[in-house]
Amino acid sequence: MKRGALTPDIFAAGAAGLGFGLTAALFPYLSLTTKLVVILMLGVIAVGALPRLSALPSVYTAFLLGTLGPLVPVLFVLDDEPGWSAIPVILLMGVSLSYSARQLHADLLESLLSRFGLENAAGEDKLTHLANRRRFDMILEQEWTRARRSKQPISLIMVDVDFFKKFNDRYGHQEGDHCLAQVAMALSQSARRSIDLVARYGGEEFVVLLNQTTRDDAYAVCERMRSSVEKLGIPHQDSTLGHVTISMGGVTLYAKENLKAVDMVKTADKALYRAKAAGRNKVIWYDPSLDEDGNA
């Protein structure tokens, strides 16, 4: 924020503090006990404003100067107690509170940056380092809106690791996690454009979003991904092929007013079901002329 933009706030805070601080002008007419009570109250007011104004240290400093500043010249000219002896205490209080405000400001910034970092991490799947379901859902909505405006095709592919439950049962969850990480890398490396998004949808399921991509181009990406995973050669004794493979179901749509982004996911999922029913390790594109069982 520019310094000029804060100027009205600084003046306002200084004026507010001065409203309290000017009570020091009454000191010549007050008893010692009342003077001490006023000094204590002004200190409490300055401390009380610290949590609220420390987000902007310059604003708090203006408030602090307005609150405690008038005390110093008044105490300087007083002949009775408290006089000069109280000035070092007031100055020390002001310096301490000003330092505390800056520390609180630094802590607040650190907290915000930490939260921002956690939000970024929340968009990444920890195991595969791909985008997670939450981030995918958000980007899908954005890209669907963009595709509606541009009237460009958008393609979506659902990916499932074949017989993954059996893989976990035989080799254990640690090997299962390693398998998913390898599959994720193969998928990510096969999606070569910066605008392509590969995400872990959940469990052994992945999803690929290809913006401004026709059916033929998206199908070619799918085949490249399927082949890349097969070439990994990860042993899988309980698979019909003896190694890890993936099944893929895709759909290409033009975003229309009567459709929603979630419809793409449901449609691609139907195509994935057909790929698995057809023997797995296949790419099946959605055909609206077929029902969910793949029958005409």
Residues whose CB is less than 8 angstroms from the CB of residue 83 and which lie 6 or more positions away in sequence, other chains included: 75, 76
Please check whether residue 198 is in contact with residue 186, taking contact to mean a CB–CB distance below 8 angstroms: no
| Closest to 41 measured CA to CA, from 61, 83, 71 | 71
Q: Catalytic positions, please?
A: 204
For the record, the structure tokens of 95 come out as 């310096």
Please check whether residue 248 is in contact with residue 158, taking contact to mean a CB–CB distance below 8 angstroms: yes
DSSP 290: S
Return the exposure string of 48-64: e unless at least 16 CB atoms fall within 10 Å of the residue's CB, then b: ebbeebbebbbbbbbbb
Place of tokens 């190694």: 243
Q: How far, CA to CA in Å, does 16 sit from each of 22, 46, 183?
A: 10, 11, 63
Angle at 187 between CA 181 and CA 188, to 5 degrees: 85
The Cα 81–Cα 95 span in angstroms is 23
